[in-house]
Amino acid sequence: MKKILFLTFIFYCASVFAAEVKILKMEGEVKYRDSVNADWQDAQNSTIVPEGGAVKTGINGMAVLDTGNKSTVWMRENTALEVEQKKDLITRLGLVFGKIKARIPHLMRKEKYELRTPTAVCAVRGTDLVLETDMEGKMNLQVLFGSVKMTYAVPPLKGDKEFTLSQGEYIAIKEKDKPSRKMMMDKKMEMEGLAKWDPGLSDKARFEDIARKEFERAQIRDFAAQTSKTENMVKNFAYKGRESDIEAGRTLKDIHGNLVRVDQRLLRPSPDTLQFLNLVKRPVYNYKATPYSEFAYNGAQGITNRYDMAVFTMNFNKNLPQSISEWPSFFNANSVDPNWATFVFANRTNDSSIFFNAEAYKYDSVRDELVNNETALGYVFSGTGPNGENYFEVIDRDVMLAGTLASYQDLSNIINYDFKGAANGVVNHKDNTAYAGNIAWFSKVQACHTPYCTNYYEKTGESQDLLYQVNADLYAKGGNFLDNSNLVWYARENYVISNGGSIRGKNDFVNAGNDIFSLLKESAGESIIYFKEFDSSAVPGGWSALITSNVRSSIKNTDYFTGSSNIDLVIIPDLALAGIQKVLPALNNLKN
């Protein structure tokens, strides 16, 4: 592999509509002006406020504003808001005094949305927040969902000049140039932030559905309480002294209706290594089968602080450039080969019993590619098939690791390629010390050569115009597929979902037209992973008797690893889109 080529599919969407702010709904005294020097006028529903204009509410006034790109701002009484800048990709609003609630969806990387007060500038994306200020500089910022980067307009003499606030955190600043610190929101703040802010509602109506949003309030508290746990996870991977090259995140619902926060990072644990993290956090996990589910969930309901993760790591034979924008030209001009790569998926809700599966790839210089077979395990299979052939040498079967690990450190070792295979499916560290827990390596079983033989099960939503796939592949522990007790089904349910958790259809993308970026920002993939026992009573002949008509009956409801339940990953395309946009200028400069 003399060069690694990055093939990028790039979509371009140019906006042709004028940017503006519109009053959607109001009550009481609400006024607006078209420019700084214009007179204040009475506002009404559908009033347009252009760039340079402003809106203010009186002692009994309230208003709801559409600020473009599906962003909404609610204004309370005695509030003044200026439209400082409103372009297709830039929105900057100035809160002069008063109190607002803002809901800003996840933005494209080049889009910017800022809220300014006399004290600070708040950069937001994919965020719900409450912001309050007065003309003397007293300010209060509360983050309900997402995160906010807050920078002082006048830096204090002591303390931090910039803060990043996550869900469930707030900051209170007493004066413009006085230092402050982040704190946890209390229940009263959460209740007020999550209540309905629409004009015309009674206090009872504003809070009537708060009980139904209990899981959302729990998500706010639990996310903030667990922030240090997540940050430590990232720090364990990150190359010291470097921040992530790209990061992205989104809050949405999964296929079961659970609230989910997905955070992504592209990191460098060392100068010659790239690492992609996809961290999935749920305050409460309840499994709900879809009409298309095929595999039994044997875990508990109501699991709190559920954590799942996907980690892809690749090590190269050369150090990579510091700037990601230099990577395309670097790979194009240099002989760069990968040494190894790992794909690891894990449910690490319980750090003393981490259910995981992993695939390892090692560079084969003769084939000039990364291969996933026994060489990736550092082990040469010595078994033979019915006719005396060595199945690893002849068929070059895929391999994987799976099981339950006893510590997060062991998971980190798997991620960083510290393992080797041994006979009978045993997995050790590279220094031959044993792993704690219950793990093994498996090789993929090949289908027999008689008609209708198969080694996998699959069902898709193609006939229903739905984007889902249910499939299972047969693996054998330690490569011994002649013993039925060693057979295991690697089963997955894969869905393309909306931010609301519904299954997408093909027509959603076909009909997206030029607005594909917006659709991708509102779509995600969900993969639910199981390891199921092989039912030898349904297929007594084992792997060689599997045919398309009996393959489904050979997948038992019982989990192969006791207590493993499932791995439930939600993966968003946001980081990939951000990466495309970051390296696009460099890609345009390459001849090929």
Span 264-313, pLDDT tens digits:
888 888 888 988 999 999 999 999 999 999 999 999 999 999 999 999 99
pLDDT band at 547 (very low <50, low <70, confident <90, very high): confident
**534 CB neighbour count, 10 Å cutoff:** 26
Q: Which residues of 479-505 are buried (b: 16+ CB within 10 A; e: fewer)?
A: bbbeebebbbbbbbbbbbbebebebbb
CATH number 3.30.230.70 given to 21-195: no
Predicted confidence (pLDDT) at residue 190 exceeds the cutoff of 70: yes
Q: Please, which pLDDT band fits residue 136 given cuts at 50, 70 and 90?
A: confident
Q: Is the pLDDT of residue 391 over 70?
A: no
Instruction: Give Rg (Cα) of the chain.
Output: 27
Q: If you ran DSSP here, which 8-state letter would residue 478 be given?
A: T
pLDDT tens-digit readout, 405-461: 999 899 999 999 999 999 889 999 999 999 998 999 999 988 776 667 888 899 999
**% of the chain exceeding 70 in pLDDT:** 81
Q: Where are the domains of the chain?
A: 21-195, 249-584
Model pLDDT, residue 543: 79
Q: Give the amino acid at 178.
A: K
Check whether 343 has a pLDDT greater than 90: yes
pLDDT score at 342: 95
Please report the sign of the dihedral spanned by the C-alpha atoms of residue 235, residue 241, residue 246, residue 251: positive
Q: Which of 186, 149, 181, 178 is nearest to 166 (CA)?
A: 149
Bridge pairing between strands 567-571 and 246-253: unpaired
For the chain, give the mean pLDDT: 82
Query: Between the CA atoms of 75, 79, 83 and 84, what dihedral angle is there, to the nearest 10 degrees?
Result: -140
The mean per-residue pLDDT over the stretch 204-208 comes to 74
What's the pLDDT score for residue 447? 75
pLDDT of residue 2: 36
The predicted structure's pLDDT at residue 406:
93
From residue 456, how far is each of 392, 410, 440, 447, 453 by CA, in Å? 19, 30, 21, 8, 10
Length of the chain: 592
- pTM, two decimals, is 0.60
Residue % of the chain over a pLDDT of 90? 48
CA distances from 26 to 53, 364, 432 (A): 17, 67, 70
SS (H, E, C) 186-200: CHHHHHHHHCCCCCC
- List of residues 6+ apart from 258 with CB closer than 8 A: 215, 282, 284, 285, 286
Q: What is the mean pLDDT of residues 99-125?
A: 86
Predicted confidence band at 238 (pLDDT cuts at 50, 70, 90)?
very low
Phi then psi for 125, rounded to 5 degrees?
Answer: -165, 135
Give, for 583, the enclosing helix (H) or strand (E): helix 574-588
